Structure 1
Amino acid sequence: MLKQIVGSTGKSPFIEPPINIDYGCNISIGDNFYSNLNYQYLTVLKPNTAKDRNLKFLTSMAIATKNQMESLVILDRIVKIGNRVSFGPFVSVFGATHETGVLSRREGVEYAKPVTISDDCWIGGNVTIMAGVTIGKGCTVGAGSIVTKDVPEFSVAVGSPAKVVKKVESVPNM
C-alpha cells in the first residue's frame, strides 16, 4: 500500500500506522526505511500542468496560493529519504513553508523547499524537520529536536533549534 501513497520507495520500507501524508507523490523513500507510529509529512506540489497558470517560480521552489494547490502536479520529489533511515514515533517532516509577513499569509502563498534525509540516519521521537533542511549521512537527531538548518554528515544534533553536539565516526563503505 505504501507504494501507492508515495512517489517512490526502495526495498523493504515499513511504517507503523497511523500515518499522515499530504501529497505523497512528493516523497521518495530509500531501502530499509523504518518509521514508528504517527509519521507526518506536509508538502506542497511543484506545478506541471495547472488550470490556473498565475504561478510564480523561484529556483528549486514552487509557489502557489492555497486555492491553486488542487490543480498542481508534481515534477520531482520534495522529500527524499535515503537508505537505512529510521524514525521514532511522532516525526514530522515539512517540505512546505510560507513567509512570515501578514500580507503574504493573507494571500495564502506557500513555498516548497526540498528536505533530504541521507543514508544511515536515526531520527528520534517527536522530531520536527523543517523545509529546506538536509541531514547528512550517518546522523542522529535527538528526540524532541526541531531541525531548522542543515546537519553535517556523521553528527549528533539535539535541541530546539537543533545544534550539533558531537561528531560520530564514519563507517567504511559509506
Structure 2
Amino acid sequence: MAKTEREKMEAGEWYSCIDPELESLRTRARAAIHEHNTMAPGRRGNIGPALAGLLGAAPADVVIETPFHCPYGFNIFLGAGVFLNAGCIILDTAKVRMGARTMLGPGVQIYCAEHHLDPVKRREGLEVARPVTIGEDVWIGGGAIVLPGVAIGDRSIVGAGSVVTKDVAPETTVVGNPARYVSRQ
C-alpha cells in the first residue's frame, strides 16, 4: 500500500506539500494561530488555548509571544520554561524539540523543510522534512535562522542574526552567516 504524503513527511522522505490532508492540517493550525495572535493577552495567558492544544508538548510555564507562526504545530515539543519572543516562526514539517529554559529572541526562524533542487519537482511541491533539536538553556538571539536538520547543544548561544547551517556543540557560542564558533562558555 502506498504511503500518504503525511506518512512520507513523517518518515523524512520526499513528499508533496500540495496535498489535501496536509492542507487540512495547516488550516487547523492557522485557526489556532489566529486565536493566539489576536486574543487579548489577559484572556490568552502564555499561549492561546487552541495553540496549546495543537502543540506536541507545551508545559503551562511556556510563553509564546505574538505574533507567532507554524504550519502544523503538532511537531513542536517545548520543555518547561521555554520562551519564544515576538515574531518567531517555526516551520515544523518535522519534529522541533526545545529543551527546558531555552529562549528565542524576536524574529527567530526555525526551518525543517528543504525544497527540491530540481525546479520541476519544486513546482510539484516536493520537499523533505528534517528535524531540529535545541537543547536546554539555549539562547538564540533575535533574527537568527536555524536550518533543517540542525542540532544545538545544551547551554549554547546563537548570536543575533546568525544563520545556523550545521550542528552547534554544547556550551559554545556561534555567530555570523554562516554561524561560526567564537567561544566556549
Aligned-pair CA distance for 1:101? 2.3
- Please report the TM-score for the alignment, with normalisation by the length of structure 1: 0.74
Partner AA of 2:115 in structure 1 = H
Counterparts of 1:35 and 1:44 in 2: how far apart (Å)?
A: 19
- 2:114 is the alignment partner of 1:97: yes
User: Hey, what does 1:70 align to over in structure 2?
Assistant: none
Partner AA of 1:22 in structure 2 = P
Partner AA of 1:164 in structure 2 = Y
Q: Which runs of 4+ in 1 moved over 3 A?
A: none
User: Hey, what does 1:8 align to over in structure 2?
Assistant: 57
Partner AA of 2:81 in structure 1 = N
Of 34, 40, 59, 2:83 maps to 34
Counterparts of 1:104 and 1:165 in 2: how far apart (Å)?
A: 38
CA RMSD of aligned residues (A): 1.3
Aligned-pair CA distance for 1:11? 4.4
Aligned-pair CA distance for 1:165? 0.8
Partner AA of 1:20 in structure 2 = H
Unpaired runs of 5+ residues, structure 2, are: 1-48
Greater strand share, structure number: 1
Aligned-pair CA distance for 1:40? 0.5
Counterparts of 2:125 and 2:70 in 1: how far apart (Å)?
A: 20
Partner AA of 1:95 in structure 2 = C
Q: Secondary structure at the match of 1:25?
A: coil
Unpaired runs of 5+ residues, structure 1, are: 46-77, 169-174
- Please report the TM-score for the alignment, with normalisation by the length of structure 2: 0.70
Amino-acid identity (%): 40
Partner AA of 2:159 in structure 1 = G
Structure number with the bigger relative contact order (C-alpha 8 A, sep ≥ 6) is 1
Of 113, 119, 123, 1:106 maps to 123
Greater helix share, structure number: 2
**Cα contact 1:44–1:110 (8 A) shared by 2:** no
